Amino acid sequence: MSATLNARIAQVFDEPGCDKNQAKGEKERKKGCTKQLTPGAAAGGCAFDGAKIALQPIVDVAHLVHGPIACEGNSWDNRHSASSGPQTYRTGFTTDINEFDVIYGGEKRLFKAIREVIEKVDPPAVFVYQTCVTAMIGDDIEAVCKRASEKFGKPVIPVDSPGFAGPKNLGNKLGAEALLDHVIGTVEPEHTTPYDINIIGEYNLSGELWQVKPLLDALGVRVLSCISGDGRYNEVAAAHRARANMMVCSKSMINIATRMQQRWGIPYFEGSFYGISDMSTTLREIARLLVERGAEPDLKDRAEALIAAEEARAWTRIRAYRERLAGKKVLLITGGVKSWSVVSALQEAGLEVVGTSVKKSTKEDKEKIKQIMGDEADAHMIDDMTPREMYAMLRDAKADIMLSGGRSQFVALKARMPWMDINQERHHAFAGYEGMVTMVAEIDKALFNPVWQQVRTPAPWETEDALLAAEA
């Protein structure tokens, strides 16, 4: 790896927002907590994939991948991050380098690609992603981006996150570093208010941000920028003028929150939009921070009034579901913030969580699981469950339904047990009070779908009478 990339990774690892990091010495802290990948072991995503996931939801910029076409093909539009306007982010741009470029270098090809994108699409900015091959042949994307920016008069942002640098979570943070180095603080907003906030680590999956924004609008709270779901380049560039930051997924972008606190004195808190009680806690925290930063004190009272009305409405709507779902057992195979925030939501629906994956969770995530689940938390936290173990747990009816990402769905289907998508590929938004109702309704549909009765019925040739007749 280049010296610049090594220095950037060391900076990412030296994270003051991590309690575990604070207990280490300076030398140990810079080694980081993330286990580095071995060649060929990019299961779960590489650093390039993580950076692309983190930044692609900025919807009005062009995302140009400098590398073989397979890199862009693998990462293009791989999440249901919705846009309320521009669709530029859904177009895949790549330099599609070949053997000739590997031998002679791909910098000229990259410069031409940037020019073509600007001429044809005219985005407010171009994000250029480094990949394994172009990093190994020594292409200096930072120099090319700087020259292109001067030539064409548009921001061209280098995202130096080749896949071999590490796993997906490191790539998330390297993408965030690109924003900190080249974007945030470069544009001044047209106007500011005492009610401006940034939401960091929210990707607007299936439109989840839109279920939360009306609640903030009702309080007069303005989302100055969302990093990065349904984001706009100029909004992200002006994010340094917000009064407070909300951190949704600390595993991916905690470095943005801590660096903004250091540079511009913007306080942050980590919250969740999943579940009734967590959504209410988030609204209270936003109101508290904004009042401390100069908003009118009545914001807290208005927040409490809104919470009371929305909670009453949500509980009324899920009451019938709670009676049907009471006592049903859930196996939750996810990670990060969802490992605890979704647990809270499921318990509110009357469900029992028999296991939650913490493979991709931080120490803080695990502590929150312990707070929510109490004495049983340690027994129910799963570091790494193999497909065979998932299958055995479902087959033996230790769980009635599995909530996970799409890669695990076939384990549940093989066990003839209900499954529901809880990760980024899903088609339903589960955030906010409205999202809680949607989640409970979808779980109810999955559990009580009549197809399970059909698939569990023995085939005619498996019944005892059929076997006896065959023997006769």
pLDDT given at position 28: 60
CA atoms of 417 and 385, how far apart (whole Å):
17
Contact 353, 343 (CB under 8 A): yes
pLDDT value for 15: 72
Q: What are phi and psi of 272, to 5 degrees?
A: -135, 145
Q: What pLDDT score was predicted for residue 377? A: 64
Nearest in space to 351 (alpha carbons), one of 379, 375, 381, 372? 372
CA distances from 47 to 33, 66, 159, 163, 324 (A): 15, 14, 11, 4, 43
State which of 105-109, 330-334, 400-404 shows the largest mean pLDDT. Answer: 105-109
Whether 24 shows a pLDDT value over 90: the answer reads no
Q: In this model, does residue 53 exceed pLDDT 60?
A: yes
Indicate the SS3 state at residue 106.
Answer: coil
Check residue 92 and give its pLDDT: 92
Q: Please check whether residue 456 is in contact with residue 416, taking contact to mean a CB–CB distance below 8 angstroms.
A: yes
- The helix or strand, by DSSP H or E, that contains position 22, with its residue range, turns out to be helix 19-22
What's the average model confidence in pLDDT over 98-119?
96
Contacts of 361 (CB under 8 A, 6+ apart): 251, 335, 336, 339, 340, 369
CB 74 within 8 A of CB 46: no
pLDDT at 168: 86
DSSP letter (8 states) at residue 137: T
CA-CA distance, 280 to 273, in Å (whole number)?
Answer: 9
Question: For residue 27, what pLDDT is reported?
Answer: 59
pLDDT band (50, 70, 90) for residue 367: confident
Res. 355 pLDDT band, cuts 50 70 90: confident
pLDDT at residue 35 is higher than 70: no
Pinpoint the alpha helices (H) of 196-297.
Answer: 209-219, 233-237, 250-264, 276-292
- Higher-scoring residue by pLDDT: 463, 449: 449
Min mean pLDDT across 80-84, 151-155, 250-254 is at 250-254
Question: What are the tens digits of pLDDT across the range 169-196?
Answer: 899 999 999 999 999 999 999 999 999 9
Please report which confidence band the pLDDT of residue 356 belongs to, taking 50, 70 and 90 as the band edges.
Answer: confident
Angle, vertex CA 443, rays to CA 386 and CA 337, nearest 5:
60
Quick check: 409 and 421 in contact, CB under 8 A? yes
pLDDT for res 460: 77
Residue 17: the pLDDT is: 60
Alpha helices in 35-155 (DSSP H): 47-55, 69-75, 99-104, 107-121, 132-136, 141-152
Q: Give Cα separations from 55 to 233, 251, 334 (angstroms).
A: 10, 15, 21
State pLDDT tens for residues 275-320.
899 999 999 999 999 999 999 999 999 999 999 999 999 999 999 8
Q: pLDDT over 70 for what percent of the chain?
A: 88
User: What torsion do the CA atoms of 255, 261, 267, 273 make, to the nearest 10 degrees?
Assistant: -20
pLDDT at 396: 82
Mean pLDDT of 8-32: 65
pLDDT over threshold 90, residue 44: no
Other CB atoms within a 10 A radius of the CB of residue 147 amount to: 15
User: Which residue has 């023995």 as its token pair?
Assistant: 458
Query: Of 24 and 135, which is predicted with more confidence?
Result: 135
Mean pLDDT score, 19-31: 57
> Inter-axis angle of helices 276-292 and 432-447, to 10 degrees?
170
- Spatial separation of the C-alpha atoms in residues 14 and 217, rounded to whole Å: 36
Q: What pLDDT is attached to residue 2?
A: 81
Q: Considering the chain, what is the average pLDDT of its residues?
A: 88
Question: How many residues appear in the chain?
Answer: 472
pLDDT of residue 42 exceeding 70, the answer is: no
- CA gap 261, 379 in Å, rounded: 37
Q: What are the tens digits of pLDDT across the range 381-411?
A: 877 778 888 888 888 878 899 998 887 888 9
- Residue 209: pLDDT band (50, 70, 90) is very high
Reported as a pLDDT band with limits 50, 70 and 90, residue 345 is: confident
pLDDT above 90 as % of the chain: 60
pLDDT of residue 425: 79
Q: Which residues have CB under 8 Å from 303's CB, separation 6+?
A: 219, 283, 284, 286, 287
pLDDT, tens digit (0-9, with 9 covering 90-100), for 247-265: 997 667 899 999 999 999 9
Cα-only R_g, the chain: 24
Q: pLDDT value at position 12?
A: 84
What is the pLDDT, as a whole number, of residue 122?
A: 97
